[in-house]
Amino acid sequence: MNNEIKQSAILLIHCNDRPGLVVAITDFIHNNGGNILYLDQHVDRENGVFFMRVEWDLKDFVIQREKIAEYFSTLVGDRYGMNAELHFSDEKPRMALYVSKMAHCFYDLLARYESGELEVDIPLIISNHPDMKTAAERLGIEYHMLAINRENKQQQENKQRILLAEHNIDFIVLARYMQVLSDNFVKDYSQRIINIHHSFLPAFPGGRPYHSAYERGVKIIGATSHYVTAELDAGPIIEQDVVHINHKHSVEDIIRIGRDLEKIVLARAVRHHVHHDLLVYKNRTVVFE
């Protein structure tokens, strides 16, 4: 095994499907000295849309890093009407963590961060409660307590925007953050806010899903991580998983069992986002694994 870190470029592309797309993209990479490391492609035949994730080694690539986006767009992307996003494997995304009082997802992400599993920088934690301050400080992460009530919501969001900008935050993870963000905020961070909802959506959206699951007498409970959109719990789903329950489980048991599910499902979603494995199209995700 080779542990040396390769500098590689990642292109995420989607456009209307038509013949010749794969060849156009791979020729661009190959003819300029790039060796393709991963290539994943998908055609949504229902909608006639082409999706690709391609990653190539930059070692012998003749186009300079900062020029790749421009060259690709001029030589390939524009001709085919492609939507393309370019990332580099050696750029660590900067993540802000939002948390309220429930600690399990928060602790789990921090443990992954501390152990190096989560390849991000976390310069900023925002909470509407003071509870997690000590944990944040232990890891040297700035912690801002911004209590929210009906009156100050807009004002506190403005403070958040300033903090996010100051820390060059790329994306936000809501680790059981119990506040609904404003539509404007959500729009400005489109596909950059990941939430964990404690049900298998679209079942049990909104508040107290475990209580509703108990009431309905379901035999499985689930958790869903999704990008936040203006409509509550209706954004593109990134990951879902479930666990079986039975009549012996009280609401408290369900909450406890659900915690393990939530932290795993959220961590998987964050990983996909960080690895640029994700494309969103018409409120559905394409997840290249």
CB of 54 to a copy of itself, least distance (A): 9
**In the complex with a copy of itself, which residue's Cβ is closer, 192 or 271?**
271
Q: Which of 78, 233, 241, 253 is catalytic?
A: 233
Q: What is the rounded radius of gyration, in angstroms, for the C-alpha atoms of the chain? A: 21
Please report how the helices 104-114 and 251-274 are oriented relative to each other, as an axis angle in degrees rounded to 10. Answer: 40
3-state secondary structure at position 87: strand
**In the complex with a copy of itself, which residue's Cβ is closer, 150 or 248?**
248
CB of 150 to a copy of itself, least distance (A): 29
Note whether 106 and 135 are within 8 A (CB).
yes
Note whether 196 and 265 are within 8 A (CB).
yes
Q: Is 40 a catalytic residue?
A: no
Q: Which tokens in the block code for residue 146? A: 């911004």
CB of 140 to a copy of itself, least distance (A): 13
Percent of the chain as helix, strand, coil, to the nearest 5? 35, 30, 35
Q: How far apart are CA 69 and CA 50, in angstroms?
A: 19
CB of 247 to a copy of itself, least distance (A): 4
Q: Which tokens in the block code for residue 92? A: 């660590």
Note whether 137 and 145 are within 8 A (CB).
no
Q: How far apart are CA 212 and CA 255, in angstroms?
A: 12
* Contacting positions for a copy of itself (CB under 8 A): 1-2, 19-20, 22-23, 26-27, 29-30, 35-46, 51, 103-104, 107-108, 111, 114-115, 117, 138, 200-204, 215-220, 222, 236-242, 244, 246-248, 250-252, 256, 259-260, 264, 267, 283-287, 289
Note whether 146 and 128 are within 8 A (CB).
yes
DSSP state of 75: I
CB of 61 to a copy of itself, least distance (A): 11
**In the complex with a copy of itself, which residue's Cβ is closer, 46 or 151?**
46
Active site residues: 233
